[in-house]
Structure 1
Amino acid sequence: MNRHFRSRRAVGIAAASALALTLTACGGNDAGRGGDAAEGAPSPGITDDSVTLGITTPLSGATAGPGTCTVAGIQAYFGAKNAEGGVEFGDGQTRTVEIEALDDGYDPQQAAANYDQLKNDVFAMTAGLGTPTNRAWRDAAIADEVPQVLIMTGDPLFSDTEQSPWQLGFVPIYQNEGEAFGELLAESGEEHKVAILSQNDDYGEGYVEGFKSAVEGADNIEIVEELTYEATDTSVDAQITELANSGADVFFNAMSITPLVISALQKAQQLNWLPSWFLPSNTSSPGAILQPGGAEAFPGIYSVSFAKAPQSPAFAEDEDVQAYLAALKEYGDYQDPPAFPHCQWSWMVGATLDQAFQEMTEPTRENFMEALRSIEGYQAPLMLEGTSVTTTEDNQPAVSTVNVQKYNGQGYDTVESFG
């Protein structure tokens, strides 16, 4: 039986500054830009024939790998749907879905500029990666009443329904991931010393908060040292060296920058410090991070997931995985299975949007948000058993359940206990 946890509260690259990916030829978005002055009038970005979605995400720089995946998965999903004739909406119209994606390089200022460029041409913003980058234009989206939904950040702010009805996160919040690992560790019954390295922002703080809440009161767990790093840092060697002297046998590493995770794995081995590791779901890729970092040297690498991994032999014949990989190859410009889970996540985003579109009875952003907020227990393609999409709960992202997994040298296996 899988172990599930519920949150208590997250290709091709063109120019470094802007990349637009269009799934289908578009004609006449202006026909759908009558604004919202009249009740029921079409919102910007939607016509009787098409709907356009916007994405701002890192397509260059250190986070280009996962960022590119956030476009590729949804591009592949709707590329396949468009090839079949499009999506049948609840108002009786069948529409193709177009994607306009711009590169923000994980820079908040550029992300805000991208939003300004897209907001009058798209029906909704979706899928983009990053907490600081999504936060950079959140207030503007609220003021403009533009949906900012199913985005790739575990920041609880984006699922705070009291503050705004226009936002909704997709992935489990950071606290949920940290809590899941903390509970697994505390319930091991064995004494463990833990060292923590976290990103010095809301991302890192959220993971650590969730972890600490789960181990609080656990007599067998001792946090012996805690350090931070900046997302702009080019090395964490000094922090790893200091933590290696702590005597910790478990390393809780809340890090979002791919090259730094790889170098941290390598530096720990150079120092002959071989603890068990916990890594966030967005920086735990076997092919892109663990294998280059030599993760096999450690007694255990743990993370969490809610998505089937195409690289896993357990899913080699899975129909969902096969359909996903075929579409990703044809429409997402990936010839091989992607190294990052964000491709799977954005494929699920596409499927979730599809569900909302099917329930829309009016071509308006308001009606879209009502439809999106009505999804309960939806088993999106590629979801692991026991996880689902539910958007009806206040202050929760679309996905709030995860499975704890342990690296097996090629992929991950779901586990019930630590060790």
Structure 2
Amino acid sequence: MTPRSFKVTLAAALFAAVSVNTSALAQKQYDPGASDTEIKIGNIMPYSGPASSYSLIGKTQAAYFRKINDGGGINGRKINFISYDDGFSPPKAVEQARRLVEGDEVLLIFQSLGTQSNSAIQKYMNAKKVPQLFVASGATKWGDPKNFPWTMGWQPNYQSEGRVYAKYILQHYPNAKIAALWQNDDAGKDQMKGLRDGLGERADMIIADASYEVAEPTLDSQIARLRNSGADLFVSWTTPKAAAQAIRKIAELGWKPVYFIGNTSSSVASVLRPAGFENAKGVLSSAYLKDPADPAWKDDAGVKEWSTFMDKYLPDGDKTDTNTVYGYAVAQTLVQVLKQCGDDLTRANVMRQAASLKDFRIGMLLPGISITTGPNDFFPIEQLQLMQFDGQAYKLMDGVMTGEIGGKQD
């Protein structure tokens, strides 16, 4: 064999070897819910019941996935978004989760809403090894990869939020007498734990607290009891409907405490407007997303992009309701995860990619806030910024604050 023919033969052999390896690497891998043309995503949302104001989140996500499909989908695959109503009922959530996993055979369940509903399906989802991804609840339990490797939250967890409020209270109201209203479930208990842990040795500043059930028609008795405690600072952890009731009742009683409300119930459209803007003036809350109603963002590129999306894909949606911003932002995060999956659309790879987000930025996050996850870090967002309602819109205060749990609090 001549040197030249040897080189040609060797080159051909190397080309063949590279071709085989490339073919192996490019091999597509699918689990139920994924194919060459489609990605099935399941969702459970309270389109009815006491938390139905949150249903706008699901509607926004459906609209965003229509936008993605109009643009060609994700890596050439269209999203089939299947969303069912559970009426904010845990037994119904279990029924719908089984329907999605065993009947519709979705690749994952995305953004199922509510702490109790997700608690009811968590063990089932993990036993089935189906991602319960970016849960629409801030409960701390969604960040436990050791025991529940198929479950991940998205928004700042409730304990972190409680710690942030505690930090601010200690800095600005060190002599306050605190009363707290909380939802009698894991969410409310998580929030109260964060507040108490954040106050630390000063937890005795909480002189009164009262719980309520989601199905209760009014909160009048709890509010009256808390006012009579002599507290001058009030922290409310409730659903949007209950938050509006509490603001109205406090105004009716003439009680004027420093007033904090949980960020899941801070919407101008679904809480403050029904409560009455004058009644809500001065209310404090926290944010990690931009509020399009704030004039400060009128020229912001991210807000303009969101507004264009709303005009085209959700024209009847209320632009003052921040649930649309939330639904839009978390849908963008899922799209990023699925893009990273490439042609490996297995459930295990979905979770690997969800746990591989590094300083991921989307346009509607506040400056200084980004999304980061890791194999042992299932808390995508852990930063918040306080804000106060001036009677027309929220105004951001101070800078970004963290309330990380597990000894990492700054």
In the alignment, the residues of structure 2 paired with residue 397 and residue 253 of structure 1 have an alpha-carbon distance, to the nearest angstrom, of: 23
Cα distance change of structure 1 residues 356 and 63 upon mapping to structure 2, 3 Å threshold:
same
The answer (yes or no) to whether the contact 1:251–1:276 under 8 Å persists in 2 is yes
Residues matched between the structures, number: 370
Aligned position for 1:62: 50
1:44 partner SS: coil
Structure 1 residues 248-293: Cα deviation after superposition (integer angstroms, max 9, x where no partner): 111011112x222212111112211111211111111112211321
The answer (yes or no) to whether the contact 1:186–1:214 under 8 Å persists in 2 is no
Aligned position for 1:246: 229
Give 1:190 shift: 4.5
In the alignment, the residues of structure 1 paired with residue 220 and residue 361 of structure 2 have an alpha-carbon distance, to the nearest angstrom, of: 42
Structure 2 counterpart of 1:272, one-letter code = G
Over aligned residue pairs, what C-alpha RMSD do you find? Answer: 2.0
The answer (yes or no) to whether the contact 2:269–2:318 under 8 Å persists in 1 is no
Give 1:40 shift: 6.8
1:52 partner SS: strand
2:77 partner SS: strand
Q: Does residue 235 in structure 1 map to residue 223 in structure 2?
A: no
Aligned position for 1:287: 269
The more displaced of 208-217 and 146-155 is: 208-217
Give 1:322 shift: 2.2
- Asked which structure has the greater CA Rg, the reply is 2
Aligned position for 1:80: 67
Aligned residue among 90, 102, 113 for 1:129 = 113
Structure 1 residues 322-355: Cα deviation after superposition (integer angstroms, max 9, x where no partner): 222332343335344052x332222122211222
In the alignment, the residues of structure 1 paired with residue 370 and residue 128 of structure 2 have an alpha-carbon distance, to the nearest angstrom, of: 30
Q: Does residue 410 in structure 1 map to residue 371 in structure 2?
A: no
1:212 partner SS: helix
The percent identity for this pair of structures is: 27
What does residue range 156-195 of structure 1 map to in structure 2 within 5 Å? Answer: 156-188=140-172, 190-195=174-179
Higher helix share: 2
Long gaps (5+) in structure 2: 1-26, 400-410
In the alignment, the residues of structure 2 paired with residue 358 and residue 41 of structure 1 have an alpha-carbon distance, to the nearest angstrom, of: 14
Q: Does residue 205 in structure 1 map to residue 189 in structure 2?
A: yes
Structure 1 residues 135-185: Cα deviation after superposition (integer angstroms, max 9, x where no partner): 111111111111000111111112100012111001111101111111001
What does residue range 19-418 of structure 1 map to in structure 2 within 5 Å? Answer: 41-66=29-54, 68-88=55-75, 94-120=76-102, 121-188=105-172, 190-218=174-202, 222-256=205-239, 258-297=240-279, 300-332=282-314, 334-339=316-321, 341-361=322-342, 362-392=344-374, 394-416=376-398
The answer (yes or no) to whether the contact 1:70–1:128 under 8 Å persists in 2 is no
Structure 2 counterpart of 1:102, one-letter code = Y
Normalising by structure 1, we get a TM-score of: 0.84
1:48 partner SS: coil
Q: Which has the higher contact order (CA 8 A, sep 6+)?
A: 1
In the alignment, the residues of structure 2 paired with residue 388 and residue 364 of structure 1 have an alpha-carbon distance, to the nearest angstrom, of: 26
In the alignment, the residues of structure 1 paired with residue 300 and residue 201 of structure 2 have an alpha-carbon distance, to the nearest angstrom, of: 42
In the alignment, the residues of structure 1 paired with residue 332 and residue 381 of structure 2 have an alpha-carbon distance, to the nearest angstrom, of: 13
In the alignment, the residues of structure 2 paired with residue 389 and residue 178 of structure 1 have an alpha-carbon distance, to the nearest angstrom, of: 20
The more displaced of 292-301 and 352-361 is: 292-301
Cα distance change of structure 1 residues 128 and 70 upon mapping to structure 2, 3 Å threshold:
farther
Structure 1 residues 226-251: Cα deviation after superposition (integer angstroms, max 9, x where no partner): 11111221111011111111221110
Cα distance change of structure 1 residues 72 and 298 upon mapping to structure 2, 3 Å threshold:
closer
